[in-house]
Every structure is written in structure tokens, then in C-alpha cells.
Homo-oligomer: A and B are copies of this chain.
Amino acid sequence: MHWDGDRPREHCGVFGIYGPGLDVARLTFYGLYALQHRGQESAGMAVADGWDITLHKGMGLVPEVFNDRAIEGLKGYLAIGHVRYSTTGASHLINAQPLVFDYRRGRIGLAHNGNLTNTASLRRRLAAEGAVFQTTTDSEVIVNLIARSSGYSLEEALERCVQEIRGAFSLVILTENQVLAVRDPYGFRPLCLGELEQGLVVASESCALDTIGAKFVRDVAPGEIVVLDRNGIDSIQTGARTPLAHCIFEYIYFARADSNIDGFNVNYIRRRMGEQLAREYRVEADLVLPVPDSGIPAARGYADVSGIPLEEGLMKNRYIGRTFIQPSQHLRSLGVRLKLNPIREVLAGKRVVLVDDSLVRGTTSGKIVRMLREAGAREIHLCLSSPPITCPCYYGIDTSNRKELIAAEKSLEEIREFTAADTLYYLSLDGLLKVFGDYGRNFCTACFDGRYPIPRETGEWDGCALFAYKPRT
């Protein structure tokens, strides 16, 4: 997996709107802005006016890519948008989404959140049939499949396509007068429907609906195709039938706390995880200390159940930008610390329950533990509101190899030693699922237990390596 410090990274967020009479470009802008946490590398939107599709996209945060002039230039009454995660190193504008294509029926735009697991075999098959590819995106594979379904309507072609592609996908599609959205049969990635007085909205998370003042209608069902057009919402349930496999990490870390996904409020769930953690692992301590911001709800849950008071003893600097001058190793050794600063007054002499949401490589947690000790903490008990991550994800989380997952390589005691905590506790997988009640069986937990909902095809999962080439700009 690819991790930002010690966090896994979500691939993308998608948004779509059908709103005659509305300034859909501006609403898409605000919707994408609300989904910014799902992707900071690039942003884009395609707007249609009944005749044509206009596209604007670029590298950077939503407000960096769009200014007033760009928004003015995007005239129309329906739109789709996309935010993409930030990679380090080279920027890849060519892979920014939405993508817009001309094909048999006219112009079509697509944006995709997730990861197909049979991309390579699909690309191979399509290439053998004469297809050419300009990007490494799944969207380009999908539109090639659609374009080959001659004799079918777009809805039918899409339905056929859904039966060919495998993996995680929450997809929005734009034609000159329709917005379509699809969620894969497993329901890996979230996708929900909302409505405005004059329009219909689809978005990765409900927080995007809230931000633009839209009312939440319902989640798009796994395997469902929805069509937003002048006739309102039309729904097609594709034949594909599989067990559900919602990504549980959306609740643990990815999604915004104020979103509701598949019936659960994310903040509520995080707090319940912390409560469960306190039930499973009770230590004598003076205070519960969240790692800001991701550990805060679980820490509160832990505090509520344990009765140990929660204290905010780690100050976070909120101005860290994307192009930051990193301190040299020498400066780090001198004690330069940019992101978090412990408040000595809170910590000195205290026994601390340090609560975070997850542990990937363990290096950040190790630094925090040491920082707390220097600030005078007497004991540090590191509690994580998720189980050990032992397996890579193939369904849309930025992915590197298993070697970087500390829990795949080390024993619990070795991890504790690595992080320098006095004790270490992971929430149990059973405990995690229990938070969801009966619905707990509907989650993909492959990163914890290796039980992948979709059998892997050899050499398939990296999704973009049709040929042995380096990625291009």
C-alpha cells in the first residue's frame, strides 16, 4: 500500500448532478470540495448543456484547479466531477479525470472511484481487437467496452460492461443530457443519491450533499445503475449477484466523519469502535489522548466507556501544504518537528492511553510515542481502533507491497517494541464488526484477514501494467 506517513490513501471521489436551471459547475465545485479528503492530486469536471460536453481539469486541490473564470466557462445543466489522490513525485495530468471520449453515439464523460481487478486482461483483450490506450485509468477500459457494444442503448451497454468488469467501482457517466451512476455489485466504495429542489445529485459521500444543501435520498444499491435525466431517477438493477463487501476502512479512516454510508454515520461508528476498544482493553491511566484528527472519535468512545478523561495534548499545525521543505535528517535529529507538538502541561507525569485509528508502517506512531515521552508522559498505552493490517488492498486503496505493512512482518510484541509504547492493543476484528451489529457480515475485511471477496488473477491487480513500461507523464 502507499501511505501518507502512516495512513492508507483513498483513490478518488466522484460527484454528478442533473439540474436544469442550476449553476451545476459551481455546485460540482462545492461538491468536489467537500470530497477533497478523498483525493488531493487532481480535480476535474465535465459539464454538458444538451449538445456538448466541456471539460476542465488540472493538478492540485479543487480551489487550485478551478477559479471563477474556469467555472464561468463551464456552461450547462448537468455535470460530473472527480478528485484524485496525491502521489508523490511526478504529476500525471493525463490520468486526471473525468475523461471525455467521442464514440459511436457521440460524446461521453466518465469518472471512477475504485479499482478494477481484471483491467490487465481486459486491456489485453481490447488491444488484441485493435484498441489503443492513452491513459492507465480503468475509465478508459470501461469506455472501450461500452463503445464496442454496438446495437445496444447506452444503458444496456453499461449493463453488459458491468458484467465484464470486476473489482471495486463507483462510476459516474455524463452524456449530453444524462448523468448515469453505477456501483459495483460488492458495494466496495460508497455512492449515494440526493436531491435539490431543481435537481438530482450523486456523490461518493453524503457530506457532499450536505455541503450543497441537497437532501440525502438513499445509497445507490450495490450492482445498481441509476440514470438521472429529465424523467427523474431511473434505476436498473444489474443481474450481477454477489455477497456484499463494503470497504470497512471507509469507516475506520477514509470517509469524512459527518458522512452517512450504507446506513451508518461515520462519526458514530468511530466512536463505537473506541467504546469497543475500551471494553476489550482496559488500562490504568490518567488520560486518553487522541492522535489528531483521525483518532479523536475513537478516543472519545474509549474515554466514555473507560471513564478516563480525554485530553487534547497534541497540537496539530494545520498549514502543512503539498510542497513543503522537509527538514534534513540532521535537523530532525536536533528535534525539528513540524506536524504535531505535545503540550507538556497536559502530559507531564501522566499515564496515557494513546488512541489512533490504525497502524500501517508504524513509523509515525513510533515518533509520537517518543515525543510524548520527551514531554514527560510516564506510561504510554497505544490503542488502535482497528485490527492489524496484514494484507494489501486491491480494491481502490493506493497499494504498495506487503513488506511495508508492519503487522504483516512483525509479531505484536515486535510492533510494540518498534513503536516504543509500553503496551499495544489492536481492536479485534470481531469487535470491529460487532459495532455494525448484524450488518457486520457485509464488509470486506481482506486487509485484516486476507479473505479477498474477489479471487485474484495472477499479475492482474496492479491494474495499469499492460506492458512492461514505466508510467508516463
Among B213, B257, B346, B469, contact of A343 (Cβ-Cβ < 8 Å): B257
Count contacts on A: residues with CB < 8 A to the other chain.
105
Option from B73, B210, B334, B337 in Cβ contact (under 8 Å) with A210: B337
CA distance A341 to B54 in the complex (A): 31
In the complex, whether A437 has a CB less than 8 A from a CB of chain B is no
Which of A61, A129, A140 has the most CB atoms of chain B within a 10 A radius of its CB? A129
Within 8 A of B (CB), among A186-239: 196-197, 207, 210-214
Q: Does A26 contact B (CB under 8 A)?
A: yes
Contact with B along A26-40 (1 / 0, CB 8 A): 110110011011001
Across the interface, A317 reaches (CB within 8 A) one of B36, B128, B130, namely B36
Task: Report the minimal beta-carbon distance from A224 to chain B, rounded to whole angstroms.
Answer: 25
Given A150-B130, A309-B304, A470-B52, verify A336-B104 contact (CB < 8 Å).
no
Q: For the complex formed by this chain, how many copies does it contain in all?
A: 4
- The smallest C-beta distance from A471 to any residue of chain B, in angstroms, reads 9
Contact of A33 among B133, B315, B338 (CB under 8 A): B338
- The docked-state distance in angstroms from the alpha carbon of A100 to that of B268 is 48
Given contacts A27-B331, A309-B304, contact A131 B107 (CB under 8 A): no
Q: Mark A267-295, 1 if CB is under 8 A from B, else 0.
A: 11000000000000000000000000100
**CB-based contact A211/B127 at 8 Å:** no
Is A56 part of the binding interface, using a Cβ–Cβ cutoff of 8 Å?
Answer: yes
**Contact indicator B338/A211 (Cβ below 8 Å):** yes
Q: Is A132 an interface residue (CB 8 A)?
A: yes
A452 to B: closest C-beta gap in Å: 27
Q: A117 to chain B: closest CB distance in Å?
A: 19
Pick the contact of A127: B104, B258, B317, B468 (CB < 8 A): B104
Which positions in A face B, CB cutoff 8 Å? Answer: 23, 26-27, 29-30, 33-34, 36-37, 40, 51-56, 61-64, 66-68, 71, 73, 90, 93-94, 99-104, 106-107, 123, 127-134, 140, 143-144, 147-148, 150, 196-197, 207, 210-214, 256-258, 260, 265, 267-268, 293, 296-297, 300, 304, 309-310, 312, 315, 317-321, 323-325, 327-328, 330-331, 334-338, 341-346, 466-470, 472-473
Given contacts A210-B337, A214-B335, 9 further A-B contacts (CB under 8 A): A27-B331, A55-B472, A61-B321, A68-B325, A197-B334, A211-B337, A211-B341, A268-B345, A296-B312
Which listed residue, B64, B213, B312, touches A334 by the CB 8 Å rule?
Answer: B213
Query: B134 to A147, Cβ gap below 8 A?
Result: no
* Cross-interface CB contact of A473 among B34, B54, B63, B258, cutoff 8 Å: B54
Within the assembled complex, what's the spacing in Å between the Cα atoms of A173 and B158? 35
When the two chains form their complex, are residues A144 and B128 in contact, meaning their CB atoms are under 8 A apart? no
Please determine whether B56 and A100 come into contact, CB atoms closer than 8 angstroms.
Answer: no
State how many angstroms separate the Cβ of A137 from the closest Cβ of chain B: 11
- Tell me if B267 and A346 are in contact (CB < 8 A): yes
Beyond A100-B134, A317-B33, A318-B318, whether A336 also contacts B469 by CB under 8 A is no
Q: How many angstroms between the C-alpha atoms of A304 and B311 in the bound complex?
A: 11
Q: In the bound complex, do residue B103 and residue A132 qualify as a contact, i.e. CB atoms below 8 Å apart?
A: yes
19 A-B pairs (CB sep. < 8 Å): A26-B325, A29-B325, A62-B319, A63-B319, A101-B133, A102-B466, A104-B130, A131-B131, A131-B132, A132-B143, A211-B336, A211-B338, A211-B341, A212-B331, A212-B336, A257-B312, A258-B315, A265-B344, A300-B312
Measured in the bound complex, the distance between the Cα atoms of B31 and A327 in whole Å is: 12
